[in-house]
Structure 1
Amino acid sequence: MSDSKTGILAMIGACMIWGLSPLYYKLLTNVPPLELLAHRTLWSLVTFAALLAFQGRLGVLRETLRSPRAAAILGFAALMISVNWFLFIFSVQIGRVTETSLGYYMFPLVAVLLGVVVMKERLGRWQWLAVALAALGVAQLTWGLGAAPWISLTLALTFGLYGIVKKRLSTGPVVSVTAEVTLLSPIGIIWLGWLHSHGQGVFGHDLRTSALLAFSGLLTALPLILFSKAAQKISLSTVGLLQYLNPTLQFFCAVVIFGESFTGYHAVAFALIWLALAIYSWVSISQDRARRKSAATSLAEAPL
């Protein structure tokens, strides 16, 4: 199988796991969100640390955490991803998966806007149009429902900030995520210790719940590994397009499987954001093709 096909299959696998993960968290509605977040953090650390140990790369993790600059960046990234994880878990438990889907659809456009504000990047007219359409979708949903879609906005913003700070790190995704959960783990251990000391912890009370909690580590690690593999083998524009499979599957879970409310205001908001994403994707693909064509031309004209 070619590298391109392998990369596409790996990306589809990662997005299917992310997109269908609400089904998993729906099985754990008996576990409070903070407790579930603490378990996800700890079991992720166990899984990632075992993977790095198998690869003989634990030393890279230690060196990364010893760097004050890297530790500061990773600390902020850990805060952003923990808020993102908690809000996602909480949203699934209270039946708001439609809003998580909207948030992850909005993420690429929020990331573009953050790039303008934080990284001083410049956008073309079509990219500004995409951002404006997304903003219009959020505005009409806010007007129609009488409240802003805070879950969607917070998910998109925290993931966007997470992505921006991670660009400042030279370490790979597995090492950096392991470092993040390493920094978060003491908080998780203290919280779980307090719960169990007061007879409130759920782990160990029944095999099903305990096994599902332990599985959260693999559920976090596997799609990240697949995503990393895909990013090495296919273009960024293809990665970007395939990523929309994640919120699409979340949307399917919310409306078809969970039967969540989907009003006309939701329909208009989603339509505007889908149109914005279509424009954004078209621009991204065009720019990627232009870069590859320019690189091929420069290579062909280079003196031997």
Structure 2
Amino acid sequence: MNTTNTKPYYAAGLAAFVIWGFIPFPLKALAEYPSGQILYFRVALSVTLLLLICLLFRKKQVKSTLSQVMHSQPKDRRRFILFTILGGALLTINWLLFIYVINHINIQTGSFSYLLCPIITAVLGFILLKEELRLNQWIAIALSAVSCALVGSGEITSLLFSLFIALSYAFYLITQRILKDYDKIVLLTLQLMLSFAFIGPFYTYFSQGATVALGTDFYLNIVMLSAMFTVLPLFLNLFALKELTSGTIGILMYINPILNFVMAFLYFGEETTTLKVLAYIIIFISVIIYNLNLKGRKKKGDGLIIPPVGTTAVGK
């Protein structure tokens, strides 16, 4: 009989998503700076923190991962290299798009993309990984398509950005499912190192158009974005996944976009239309329908929810 007290794990999972739900605050504080410049420093600091954590506290996992790769079959080794590089590229694209959308379009668009993400991930899983979908999940997918049509009929630009963000992160999640046998923190550290290698040579390009000099406020917000809104919730989520099912995590993850929506209207004063409200209601209903029959799911410990500048993933 399992007598494990799951309350600390629920608390950790809940805390992770609440933290990610408030990501618009540090991003909005950096709105005067180019999105690429924010991305550059956010990746640089995040990978520095993760490298320190790996070298100081996770040497065993690093050595184990390296040994696992070195002793794998050539085909598996090539797959590891390919999907690690692809994952780093997808994460970079996703983060950049999310920063741009939050600061230059609106919070609603960014939040809508992460309500869409689980549904899109399910479709990609069905197409690419041959994962089965239940009838209620197909109904949820159909409702999500209706929701997208409603948003697109009102403002096609917002819909396209939402879809690009959701697709980039959904494809990223697919790469993580393929690499599910490897340590998540070590894998993320490698991907962020690759991300920094991708964007490092282009810093001059990313910082073009900057009208504000980098000062104390900029660096403080970058530290907050990287440490508090990336590394801290990442570890809280990993702790939660030790005992919680991926289905439970899948439910908790919707706290994030819901908080984003609430802040968009109540704090940042964003406006919306009746059509968009209807679309948001439909997508939210589809999420509930998609997650029905969770009790029938097997417990999985292969999930990881990594914030694309502070949002969520599913199945993970």
- TM-score, normalised by the number of residues in structure 2: 0.83
The equivalent residue for 2:198 is 187
Q: 1:217 aligns with which of 194, 218, 226?
A: 226
How far apart are the structure 2 equivalents of 1:35 and 1:195? 5
Change (3 A) 1:258 1:186: same
Quick check: 1:104 aligned with 2:114? yes
Residue 62 of structure 1, CA deviation:
5.4
Change (3 A) 1:263 1:73: same
Q: Which runs of 5+ in 2 are unaligned?
A: 71-76, 300-316
Quick check: 1:116 aligned with 2:126? yes
Residue 69 of structure 1, CA deviation:
2.8
The equivalent residue for 1:171 is 182
Question: Going by fraction, where is helix more abundant, 1 or 2?
Answer: 1
Calculate the aligned-residue CA RMSD, in Å: 2.5
Change (3 A) 1:271 1:187: same
The residue type paired with residue 236 of structure 1 is: S
Bigger radius of gyration:
1
Moved more, 264-273 or 51-60: 51-60
Among the aligned pairs, what percent are the same residue? 24
Residue 202 of structure 1, CA deviation:
6.6
SS of the residue 2:117 aligns to: helix
Residue 113 of structure 1, CA deviation:
0.7
How far apart are the structure 2 equivalents of 1:96 and 1:120? 35
Residue 122 of structure 1, CA deviation:
2.6
The residue type paired with residue 182 of structure 2 is: T
Offset from partner CA, 1:99-132 (integer Å, 9 cap, x none):
1111111111111111111112232221111100
The residue type paired with residue 135 of structure 1 is: A
The answer to whether the 8 A contact 1:141-1:149 is kept is: yes
Offset from partner CA, 1:258-296 (integer Å, 9 cap, x none):
11121111111111111111111113x1422xx58xxxx
Quick check: 1:256 aligned with 2:266? yes
The residue type paired with residue 77 of structure 1 is: G
The residue type paired with residue 257 of structure 1 is: Y
Offset from partner CA, 1:78-107 (integer Å, 9 cap, x none):
111111111111011114110111111111
Change (3 A) 1:141 1:189: closer
The residue type paired with residue 136 of structure 1 is: V
The equivalent residue for 2:168 is 158
Offset from partner CA, 1:150-195 (integer Å, 9 cap, x none):
1211121111111111112122221111000111222333233677
Residue correspondences, number? 287
The answer to whether the 8 A contact 2:17-2:233 is kept is: yes
How far apart are the structure 1 equivalents of 2:158 and 2:99? 20
- TM-score, normalised by the number of residues in structure 1: 0.86
The answer to whether the 8 A contact 1:81-1:158 is kept is: yes
Change (3 A) 1:167 1:201: farther
Moved more, 205-214 or 265-274: 205-214
Quick check: 1:206 aligned with 2:208? no
The equivalent residue for 2:16 is 14
Change (3 A) 1:139 1:64: farther
How far apart are the structure 2 equivalents of 1:162 and 1:199? 30
